[in-house]
Structure 1
Amino acid sequence: MHPKIVFLSGARMCASRVSNLCWRLCFHSCLPVSSVGHSGGLALFWEDSIKAHLLS
């Protein structure tokens, strides 16, 4: 079974790499936050059937 939402914390990836991973994992939408220096990045992937809203 394929999950509908996946969240990665401390991903240490740039936004373009997260977007590529989104496609490879067969998700339709993603929200990347690139890592800066030694701080990890964030990545949120979700299917079109999920309504996601960024609050802050």
Structure 2
Amino acid sequence: MAQHEREDNDALKAENDKIRCENIAIREALNNAICPKCGGPPVVKILTSMSISSGLKCTS
């Protein structure tokens, strides 16, 4: 039983690492994104900055 739990734990750790890497890649892409129309930051980046500075939290 302990062997099975260790295998499950290792699989979950690997999945977490994969998701963490995906999140980092997405975050970097958003940080480097520009609006194709005006060349400024995308609306998502502006809203994220506003949410962080005003202390708003995700409710979903």
Q: TM-score range by the shorter chain?
A: under 0.3
* Structure number with larger C-alpha Rg: 2
The structure whose RCO (Cα within 8 Å, separation 6+) is larger is: 1
- The TM-score normalised by the length of structure 1 is 0.25
